[in-house]
Amino acid sequence: MLHKLFFQILALIIAIILGIFTIGAVLTASAPTAVGILITDFPVESVQIPAADGPTVHGWMIYGKPGNGVVLLVHSMRSNRVEMLSRARFLKDQGFSVLLIDMQAHGETPGDRITFGLHESRNVEAAITFLRETFPFERIGALGTSLGAAAIVLAQQELRLNAVILESLHPTIEEAVENRLKLHFGDYGSLLLPLMLWQLSFHLDISMDELSPIFRINNLHSPLLFISGTDDMHTTQSETERLFEAARMPKDLWIVPGAKHFNMHTYAGREYEQHVTAFLSKYLRKHDHEH
């Protein structure tokens, strides 16, 4: 009887390990998508941005009015630039120029693995360099959601942005993974956390310490707007508040009542547009005497 029980427990442990290993492989696997030709009611230019230490970044460039600034939009995990198109539309209507990119291993930008913002940050750096060359007299801002926000914060180069908006950004990779495990496995999810983190490190050959935005947020010398939802169980309100406290001034925090880990623009609509436009206008638009 004990002999049989031992092998049942052993089989269960092996199944759990294999399951976690498979989940890790799926989480880090690339998510390519043929974005294709975009048909919109405003002009969009396809761009390919070379990077010194990464893949060529694919994106769309939308031109606004001179002097209003330019905004880089960075999508969430396992998505692509199409996710950010509704934001691009209202930003263009407000006069901003907009660049939407696919991060590595997403959309049409090549890549073998998703690295939770670390290597994706090179795509952000390449995009910012492209914008500085294309718009030498404009102020530059960036808006990232979830993985896109992490890619902005984890950049190794100093981005020197005039404004940054970070949506649904986790403080540490440990909390991001644990929150998701709990959503699937309840309180037992915490027990699986060490194994999940180990195999993520194995798949990516990256230290987990390199994937925690809260250790890097103080390196951003840009005005910051943090956006999160009260009902977000992937990145909780208290986690966002910790990030906010760790960041430099000037900074703002907008907690959206009822919002979950979802497209904030879709959820909050006009209120979202008002918050984002006010923040970007304050820091990106040039007054008449500055032109």
Task: Say whether both 160 and 258 belong to one domain.
Answer: yes
Count of CB atoms within 10 A of residue 174's CB? 17
Do 219 and 199 sit in the same domain of this protein? no
| Residues 103, 25 share a domain | no
Q: Which amino acid is at 270?
A: R
Residues 6+ apart with CB under 8 A from 107: 31, 32, 33, 35, 58, 75, 79, 80, 81, 82
Say if residues 143 and 165 touch (Cβ distance below 8 Å).
yes
Instruction: Say if 235 falls within a structural domain.
Output: yes
pLDDT of residue 168 exceeding 80, the answer is yes
Q: Tell me the average pLDDT across 164-188.
A: 87
How many other C-beta atoms lie within 10 A of the C-beta of residue 94? 19
14 and 100 together in one domain: no
Residues 267 and 166 in one domain: yes
In a domain, 178, yes or no: no
Residues 244 and 280 in one domain: yes
The model's confidence at residue 180, banded by pLDDT at 50, 70 and 90, is confident
Residue 180 falls within a domain, yes or no? no
Do 22 and 105 sit in the same domain of this protein?
A: no
pLDDT tens, residue by residue, 61-112: 999 999 999 999 999 999 999 999 999 999 999 999 999 999 999 999 999 8
Tell me the mean pLDDT in the region 159-181. Answer: 92
- Give the chain's domain count: 2
Task: Give CA angle at 131 (214, 80), nearest 5°.
Answer: 65
Residues 165 and 261 in one domain: yes
Asked whether the predicted pLDDT for residue 170 surpasses 90, the reply is yes
* Judgement on whether residues 121 and 49 belong to the same structural domain of the protein: yes
Q: How far is Cα 225 from Cα 214, in angstroms, rounded to an integer? A: 15
Q: Please give the residue that has the higher pLDDT: either 185 or 99.
A: 99
Output the pLDDT for position 13: 58
Report yes or no: 146 and 168 within 8 Å, Cβ to Cβ.
yes
**H-helix segments, the chain:** 2-28, 85-93, 120-134, 147-153, 173-185, 189-204, 237-246, 264-268, 270-284
What are the pLDDT digits (tens) for 123-159? 999 999 999 999 999 999 999 999 999 999 999 989 9
User: Is the pLDDT score of 199 beyond 60?
Assistant: yes
Assess if residue 74 is contained within a domain: yes
**HEC states along 111-167?**
CCECCCCCCHHHHHHHHHHHHHHHCCCCCEEEEEECHHHHHHHCCCCCCCCCEEEEE
Whichever domain contains 103, its CATH number is 3.40.50.1820
Is there a single domain that holds both residue 201 and residue 216? no
Q: Which amino acid is at 91?
A: L
The answer to whether residue 82 sits within a structural domain is yes
22-64 per-position pLDDT tens digit: 555 556 667 778 787 676 777 899 999 998 888 999 999 999 9
Above 70 in pLDDT, residue 5? no
User: Which are the contacts of 102, defined by CB distance < 8 A and separation ≥ 6?
Assistant: 33, 35, 57, 58, 59, 75, 80, 81, 108, 109
Residue 155 forms part of a structural domain? yes
Rounded to an integer, what distance in angstroms lies between the CA atom of residue 47 and that of residue 212? Answer: 30
What is the pLDDT averaged over residues 174-202?
78
What domain range is 192 assigned to?
A: 1-29+188-206
Work out the pLDDT band at 21, boundaries 50, 70, 90.
Answer: low
37 inside domain: no
Residue type, 59: G
What are the tens digits of pLDDT across the range 214-272? 999 999 999 999 999 999 888 999 999 999 999 999 999 999 999 988 889 999 999 99
Q: Whole-angstrom Cα distance, residue 19 to residue 17?
A: 5
Is 64 domain-assigned? yes
For the chain, the residue count is: 291
Residue 138 pLDDT: 98
β-pairing, 140-145 vs 45-49, is unpaired
Cα distance between residue 104 and residue 41, in whole Å: 28
Exposure class string for 222-241: b at 16+ Cβ within 10 A, else e: bbbbbbbbeebebbbbebbe
pTM for the model:
0.90
Predicted local distance difference test score (pLDDT) of residue 83: 95
On whether both 14 and 114 belong to a single domain, the answer is: no
Domain co-membership, 148 together with 224: yes
